[in-house]
């Protein structure tokens, strides 16, 4: 009987210790300051922007067709059978964006002032597997050379880039960079006023 009483006392002691531990744990959770998101600083935001710089790029895919034609002139007259020409079709990708690692940021309370560099074309690649040649005119006296294709490719890239810029590619790239910055600031849970200079 005495053993049963000792066992009950031990169980009561364990129950009381468990209850005290539970109350202490719950009290600590309730009364301790809650964890806050880190305060946004210029350095923190700059580091985050450098990490997501690739997300601020805009990919512009296109298909283009161009014609190359070169004739041999003799004092302003086109020499017959000396014209070389070809028409090609190809796909390309232009990457445009803002180099966020060059962004300058100042944080003053809830006001974030951001100076972004200009958006620019980062790369421009032509998918060589997509190139199709149509209507290639060859002649014995004025044959098509590799340099003709190379120079034509450079000219076409410049033409497509100009058209893409005229159609707002760099404006869209700048807007995407601003969207990335806005998303980064919204992650903090605080309301920030963003001013772009």
Q: Which residue in this structure is represented by tokens 């014209």?
A: 83
Q: Which residues contact 164 (CB under 8 A, 6 or more apart)?
A: 60, 62, 94, 96
Residue 177, pLDDT > 70, answer: yes
Q: Where are the domains of the chain?
A: 1-35, 37-196
Give the pLDDT confidence of 115-126 residue by residue, as tens digits.
889 999 999 998
pTM (predicted TM-score) = 0.62
| 183-187, long-range: CB < 8 A, 24+ apart | 184/45, 184/48, 184/49, 184/52, 185/40, 185/45, 185/112, 187/37
Report pLDDT digits (tens) over 48-83. Answer: 666 666 556 889 999 988 876 766 666 666 666 666
């Amino acid at each position: 009987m005495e053993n049963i009483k000792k066992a009950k006392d031990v169980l009561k002691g364990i129950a009381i210790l468990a209850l005290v531990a539970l109350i202490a744990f719950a009290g600590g959770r309730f009364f301790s300051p809650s964890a806050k998101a880190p305060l946004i600083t210029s350095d923190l935001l700059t580091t985050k922007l450098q990490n997501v710089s690739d997300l601020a790029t805009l990919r512009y895919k296109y298909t283009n067709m161009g014609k190359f034609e070169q004739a041999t002139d003799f004092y302003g007259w086109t020499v017959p059978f000396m014209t070389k020409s070809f028409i090609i079709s190809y796909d390309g990708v232009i990457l445009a964006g803002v180099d966020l690692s060059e962004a300058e940021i100042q944080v003053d309370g809830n006001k974030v002032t951001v100076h972004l560099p200009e958006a620019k074309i980062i790369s421009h690649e032509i998918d060589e597997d997509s190139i199709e040649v149509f209507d290639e005119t060859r002649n014995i006296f004025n044959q098509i050379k590799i340099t003709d294709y190379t120079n034509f490719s450079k000219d076409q890239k410049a033409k497509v880039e100009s058209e893409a810029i005229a159609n707002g590619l760099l404006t869209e790239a700048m807007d995407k960079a601003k969207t990335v910055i806005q998303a980064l600031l919204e992650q903090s849970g605080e309301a920030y006023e963003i001013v772009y200079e």
